[in-house]
Structure 1
Amino acid sequence: MDIFVTFLLGIGNFALHRAVLDSGHPLLGKMPWFYHGLHRRFSFAVEFLMLFAGLLLTAQGIAWGPVAYLGYTALNGLSAWLILSDRI
C-alpha cells in the first residue's frame, strides 16, 4: 500500500511539474544556464530520480522514505501553488 501511495504522489509531482513548466512564468527564465540547454529533460530526470528514490526506500521498508517523499510532495505542491497563482 505504501508503494502505491508513493507512486500516486509521484504522479501528482509530475503533473505539478508539467503545469509549472507550461505556465511560462518569468521565474523559469531565471534558471541556471545548464537548465536552459537541457530544459525539460533535465528537470523531469531529476523528478524521476526523486520518485525512484522514494519508491526504493519504501520498497526496502525504510519508514522515513515515504514520509520524506510526502514532505517533498508537500513542498512541491506549495511552490507550484505559489507559482501558478502568481503569488511569486
Structure 2
Amino acid sequence: MTHVVTEPCFNCKYTDCVVVCPVDCFYEGEQILFIHPDECLDCGACVPECPTEAIFYIDSVPEKWHDYIALNAEMSPKCPNICEKKDRRK
C-alpha cells in the first residue's frame, strides 16, 4: 500500500513533506510532487507535514482525485528524487 499526492499539491511551493520521509520516496515533477508506490512504507510521516493537505493513504483518496493514484505510479519513476527541503519552489 502507499500514500498518494493529490491535486492540492499542484503548483505547491512547499517541500516540508519530503524531509520527514524515511525512505526518500518523493519525486519532483514540473508542477507537483509524486510518491513512488513501491518505495512508500506507509508510515504517514508526510501527511501532517503537508500544508495543503494533499497527501492521502491510498484507500482514503477522495473519489474526485482517484486519477492521482495512477499518476503517482506513472510519473514517480520518470522524475528526479527529492529528499531535501527547498526554498519555496517557483
TM-score in same-fold range (> 0.5): no
Question: For the pair shown, which has the larger CA radius of gyration, 1 or 2?
Answer: 1
What TM-score do you get using the length of structure 2 for normalisation? 0.28
Q: TM-score, normalised by structure 1?
A: 0.28
Q: Which has the higher strand share?
A: 2
Higher helix share: 1
